[in-house]
Homo-oligomer: A and B are copies of this chain.
Amino acid sequence: MTAYSRADALAADAADPLAGRRDAFVLPDGLIYLDGNSLGPLVRASAARVTGTVTDEWGQGLIASWNTAGWMDLPLSIGDRIAPLIGAGPGEVVATDSLTILLAKAIGAALALRPERSTVLTDAANFHTDLYILEAMARRAGRPLQVRALERGDLAGALDDSVALVMLTHVDFRTGEMLDLAGLTAQVHRAGALMLWDLAHSTGAVPVDLTGAGADFAAGCTYKYLNGGPGSPAFLWIAPRLVGEVANPLPGWLGHARPFDFEATFTPAPGIRGFVTSTPSILALAALDGALDAFDGIDPAALRAKSLALTDLFIALVEERLPGALALVTPRDHARRGSQVAWRHPAAYGIVQALIARGVVGDFRAPDIARFGFAPLYVRYVDVFDAVTHLAAVLEAGEHLDARHATRRAVT
């Protein structure tokens, strides 16, 4: 990979079958945006969809739009658009609430399916909200449950017939490591336990086949690689073989079989609709619906191929131009890599801030990780090349040690 030049990057962009899709996005001039794994950029169709929903559907249609504009079905119709990205079928996915709330629903539903079992396992390196909600729901399960947060290699040894549920995140938010979704699901099933996958850092970026893996429960967020907008609704999938056996632990009227009959007793709507609780934000769903247009007609294999090519190039260029300067924490093995690259450095915070000042947006994750996301729908090879040029300039000039960049603020 020596002597890979900017011209080589431009040539790779010219040959990129996904290159045209970048025009679907609003990307500020001159900005290299490598933080789509935190907040995806605005899709032009999303802005138009929100304007139409506000001005026409809400402004002019008012209450009638619940029927005439399809508001009532949006959680399911959007779910149907997410389904192909995660190997799910139509009618199996719902978009509503936040990810933590949907994880709560899945955890509560799953624990009730294994009433005789007393242990729940997760990954000590899981995103912290996953740990908080797992603890909280385990405390409310109506029986004593032990939650064990394990080191990643210790899962196999901890699986026994006491385990009710295993909850893992498919792609590690810090390191970008991708777990073996099918293999781990099978392993968990052999112990008679259920498996809940958090797909926050997977959906729209790496191949996911929940049906093929025989998975049980999955939830994910839509404001990262799906570009649904800040705090956009999350999604929940429950295997069709299970959805009729489980109850939504946070039931609400919009998940009722007959919401407008105002019945005093909760009778769930069939399937995943029973996991809608109450009225989701229609503006938020509209933004997400528009954003999903960016995935129309995209070949998942092409998406994955470009993602790996981008992350391969970033790793190679950093190691070539800055040998030994940063420690790679993302797996080199393609089968174990998501769509981000993370580096460890004692001054990671300062590096990220100095890059932002130069118009290269990645992010910092405590205590010492600089994280860069490569969303294949809009990140170009030349962005990778230029980002590394900036990174080299930052480190060579010591910009990351400059007080303007190195003093950590409360929120990054």
Contacts and interface: CB of A to CB of B under 8 A. Distances in A.
A296 interface: no
B142 A231 contact: no
A374 to B, nearest CB: 15
A279 B230 contact: yes
B100 A252 contact: yes
B366 A250 contact: no
Interface in A107-151: 108, 124, 127-129, 131-133, 135-136, 139-142, 149
A232 interface: yes
A129 B230 contact: no
Interface string A48-79: 00110011001110111111000110000000
B361 A63 contact: yes
A251 interface: yes
B361 A279 contact: no
A281 interface: yes
A370 interface: no
A274 to B, nearest CB: 11
Nearest to A258: B410
A230 B287 CA distance: 13
A93 to B, nearest CB: 18
A280 B224 CA distance: 14
Contact of A361 (B38, B62, B100, B409): B62
Interface string A308-351: 00000000000000000000000000000000000000000000
Interface of A: 26, 28, 31, 33, 35, 38-39, 41-42, 46-47, 50-51, 54-55, 58-60, 62-67, 71-72, 97-101, 104, 108, 124, 127-129, 131-133, 135-136, 139-142, 149, 221, 223, 229-233, 249-254, 256, 258-264, 266, 277-285, 287, 356, 361, 363, 365-366, 409-412
- CB-based closest 4 A-B pairs: A281-B284, A230-B282, A100-B252, A129-B253
